[in-house]
Structure 1
């Protein structure tokens, strides 16, 4: 048996008997659930994050991620299976490392890979023989091989696939879901070499129910972008359909429900005030940016992005027109926005269209209030608001109520009864809102 075979065999043995020490870099909505899954599978896990308050919270057994109950976290911490630190030197003892750091877009529209670069540079001094490293952060095809690999190997003689194992596995977290979670959502993995793919598959397969191995990290990177580009483009399609139906005087929600009765060849998407969350509004633009460097324009992505980013202004016009019909100008009108999170029943504000809608209303001097049972305060782009305390009092006092996020906890029947005017961008009122003179639907 050669030296490289011995390294693979030894690491595989530690992974199989769960004696491998696991590190997770980045303890947000992706990293913390992943760390919990590995710890519950029997591994000893250390989470690494530069934010001291997160580290202290985890070590107290207090979760700040909605999908992880504090009781579940506290049990793992007290059992010594999971702890957190800001000290990257613990990577020296790690056998397996998952990197789960943010990858936002800059204002110029190009990917901000500074978090991946920083994490890789922090890991590089502690890279050692017999270590498997998996990047989970959404990014463009080529990042793992072209950006991470050179940083990890420039100061050492270790070789990927021989001495250590580098792979990409796209996160597929959908915050707030109970049916598909980190442990049972199929996990795609692809490595720099076949040996890297094999080791990543072996490791993740010890904790996750289904692992799907692909031929390369580029395939894995591209698969994530396809998933979210598919959703972005189809949401763009139904958002444009909503605009067209508005012009035609046709009920878009009835059209969609009718089309959805077809048992094949159609997948139901619904319109809304814009795109939110980290993945769908952003991931396709990584691909678009990458293709521009290859002199190719991703036309579907560019068009869908244009339509989706224009939806908050479409909502603004709906509010303006509704108030005009009621004989009121938007300026100084009291507008109550219901829902600030990007989707129902979570506290995630990332890229939420509510931010754009509120900002546009403020620009036109509306008296804007908001309510969200999960988001007590918003600070964005130089303005700040607190969620109102007495919801129904504000509903009754508002000149217009705008439903942006259709949280399930809202009593829509009571809101319909108390409000003088409603603009419903999510069909939150459902059948109650049809044929109501005081309800304007998207």
Structure 2
């Protein structure tokens, strides 16, 4: 029996030991799902605090069910470690590490390189390695493959390498890791075959096979660039509608009645999260290698990045209409998470809004039921509770994240002025002075 057949047999019989490198927003949910599917799973992370939490069954990721993690730990199906020597025990490993941008807006693949290097130290024949981190087309071939082949392993014969992009959408109540369709592209057909076999035995969503890792890598960036550009269009429409005295939210509601040719995207205070504000710039960076300038993507980035400043300028004009200056005004900012009903503040545009408010001398307090404290610039900010007293003493209520558990009736009843960047009050009676983005 060939190494490919042996590995597929282990996977299909749930005898394979699975490794997951990186126990963050992508890795921990994946590790839990693989353990729930009946595989012995070893999670790897360089942060000792994370490893300790996992091994104690303490969940720190919103998309993971607390009971699922606790049960998998107690049953011994899942264990976490900082010891990469245990890679030698696994038959398949997924790399789920961060791929941020550096200060020059260029891809930082150091985590991928480090992970691939550690895996290569302890890799063995008959092993599957899948990169899941979002990155530019070519990463799997340029970074992961050389690391494994430097050890003498032969791709497609003695080691199997593929790329399968994560599609985590924090806070999504309908689509989780378990039921979201998966795209898989291996370096060879045998690599694709074995990787697809693993995901089909773990997930409920369809597994779609593509011809190469580069196709799968590009597909992921295309997904997020699509959203990036369409949100920029919605933001630009919001700016224009504001100048023309038109309600952009009503415009979008009208447009989406068309049953074909239109998909609704909504404006907001800017883009946040681990994907959409970052991933398109992986493509713009890679495009330069081919002497191509991705003008549309970069222009969309300019528009989206300008929204925090636009929001603060709107707030300033709203206050001016009441004879108040932004400097010294008491502003209550509702929500610092980058999207509703989650605790994730990564790349949140609200952080930029707060920085600008600081520079303008505004006095602000932040309310977010999902976030107890967060770092903004060089200081840690503690959030406060939303109370009737806080609302009444505020010169302006600024809704920046439309959490479902905000008491919008209370906000509407007692606010002097509300500036709503998310159309959050659409279902309640509006306050006397209510302005939407």
Q: Secondary structure in 1 aligned to 2:416?
A: coil
Relative to the length of structure 2, the TM-score reads 0.98
Structure 1 equivalent of residue 71 of structure 2? 75
Q: Secondary structure in 2 aligned to 1:206?
A: helix
Looking at structure 2, the residues matched to 392 and 133 of structure 1 have their Cα atoms a distance apart, in angstroms, of: 54
Q: Secondary structure in 1 aligned to 2:202?
A: coil
Q: Does 1:211 align with 2:207?
A: yes
Relative to the length of structure 1, the TM-score reads 0.97
Looking at structure 2, the residues matched to 30 and 76 of structure 1 have their Cα atoms a distance apart, in angstroms, of: 17
Deviation at 1:292, TM superposition (A): 1.5
1:302-321 deviation digits (Å, cap 9, x = unpaired): 11100000000110111100
Structure 1 equivalent of residue 434 of structure 2? 439
Structure 2 equivalent of residue 375 of structure 1? 371
Structure 2's unaligned 5+ residue stretches are none
Deviation at 1:437, TM superposition (A): 4.7
Q: 2:396 aligns with which of 394, 397, 400?
A: 400
Looking at structure 1, the residues matched to 283 and 143 of structure 2 have their Cα atoms a distance apart, in angstroms, of: 16
Looking at structure 2, the residues matched to 186 and 76 of structure 1 have their Cα atoms a distance apart, in angstroms, of: 24
1:46-66 deviation digits (Å, cap 9, x = unpaired): 100111111111111111111
Structure 2 equivalent of residue 425 of structure 1? 421
Q: How does 1:42-57 map to 2 (within 5 A)?
A: 42-57=38-53
Looking at structure 1, the residues matched to 236 and 428 of structure 2 have their Cα atoms a distance apart, in angstroms, of: 24
Tell me if structure 1 keeps the 8 A contact 2:41–2:79: yes
Deviation at 1:390, TM superposition (A): 4.5
Q: How many residues align?
A: 436
1:371-399 deviation digits (Å, cap 9, x = unpaired): 00000111121122111135332111111
Tell me if structure 2 keeps the 8 A contact 1:340–1:405: yes
1:1-54 deviation digits (Å, cap 9, x = unpaired): xxxx61111111111111111000000111001001110111000100111111
Looking at structure 1, the residues matched to 30 and 61 of structure 2 have their Cα atoms a distance apart, in angstroms, of: 12
Q: Does 1:162 align with 2:157?
A: yes
Structure 2 equivalent of residue 85 of structure 1? 81
Structure 2 equivalent of residue 117 of structure 1? 113
Tell me if structure 1 keeps the 8 A contact 2:169–2:176: yes
Looking at structure 2, the residues matched to 216 and 87 of structure 1 have their Cα atoms a distance apart, in angstroms, of: 31
Q: Secondary structure in 2 aligned to 1:150?
A: helix
Deviation at 1:129, TM superposition (A): 0.4
Tell me if structure 2 keeps the 8 A contact 1:433–1:439: no
Looking at structure 2, the residues matched to 39 and 238 of structure 1 have their Cα atoms a distance apart, in angstroms, of: 41
Tell me if structure 1 keeps the 8 A contact 2:409–2:429: no
Looking at structure 1, the residues matched to 376 and 411 of structure 2 have their Cα atoms a distance apart, in angstroms, of: 27
Q: 2:55 aligns with which of 55, 59, 67?
A: 59
Q: 2:99 aligns with which of 74, 82, 103?
A: 103
Tell me if structure 1 keeps the 8 A contact 2:99–2:107: yes
Q: Secondary structure in 2 aligned to 1:22?
A: strand
Looking at structure 1, the residues matched to 175 and 384 of structure 2 have their Cα atoms a distance apart, in angstroms, of: 33
Q: 1:179 aligns with which of 174, 177, 192?
A: 174
